[in-house]
Amino acid sequence: MLASLHAAPAGPPLVSVDGVQKTYPGRNGAIQAVASASLTVRKGEFVSLLGPSGCGKSTLLMMVAGLESVTAGSIALNGSAVTGPRKDIGIIFQDATLLPWKSALENVLFPVRILKLPVDKYRDRAHELLRMVGLAGFENKKPAELSGGMRQRVAICRALVHDPDILLMDEPFSALDAITRDQMNVALSEILETYHKTVIFVTHSIREAAYLSDRVLVMGGRPSTIILDMPMPFSRPRKFDIEETAEFTQVCRRLRLSIEEAHADASASPPVRPAGSKAE
């Protein structure tokens, strides 16, 4: 049994997800994307939702963000029900979604303008964030002049500039090449060591989840549920060469086996039909 060396943050949960379900209407009946999910995330934790494509992890994240409604169950942030988008949540999507006519600096400051906050008060913070991600000197470059990795760095800065309580990240590095993705993992880890944000991170990369997270929640099954909640036994700050250790390999193996077992169980089970539907 692996024991965690990273002390869990104290205090009440910042995020509480209780018995959440998500069902979409379909031509042949309802499609259940998330069967039931319950989890808590404390202030300062980095929690990854790990699982194969189509397992409902992004759907669950969007419900936490208030961008998708829940079919059943409840979600609360700081004890307040999440019923729609909120100012205290920052979101990073798979695509950087930068405004092409604005500079890197102006893209970072865009949420400040949308929220009608004093821009001059946040300008120094925007510069500091860009410096931390290695983009000092690129403040006036347009997105077309930046690489994919650079654009995602700008997107991270944009999500952090107004100092949200929680950062939600939906596979933000999945479109990057392997080397750039590793660089982004290191950069993100360094940023969070400075700003100590609470993060829920969606990924299908086992090694990425193990490297970044305090806890990894594995999603799987048909329809999807949380099948494993595993603390990571690595102290912080972390160096990237941790991935070469036997302990890291052991953690990744356990996560992989849990995903494979869930997939095998789902394949062996008949499809779950909505209540009241008729078998063909």
Residues in the chain: 280
Give the chain's domain count: 1
Query: In angstroms, what CA-CA distances link 72 with 36, 64, 243, 265?
Result: 9, 13, 39, 25
In a domain, 129, yes or no: no
If one counts every other C-beta atom within 10 angstroms of the C-beta of residue 166, the result is 22
In a domain, 164, yes or no: no
Structural domain boundaries, residue 231: 13-88+197-270
For residue range 146-189, what is the model confidence (pLDDT) as tens digits? 998 899 989 999 999 998 989 999 998 888 888 888 888 888 88
Buried-state track 7-20, b at ≥16 Cβ within 10 A, e below 16: eeeeeebbbbbeeb
In a domain, 100, yes or no: no
Alpha carbons 232 and 253: distance in angstroms, whole number:
13
Q: What contacts 236, CB < 8 A, 6 or more positions away?
A: 6, 193
In a domain, 232, yes or no: yes
For residue range 253-278, what is the model confidence (pLDDT) as tens digits? 999 999 888 766 655 554 443 333 44
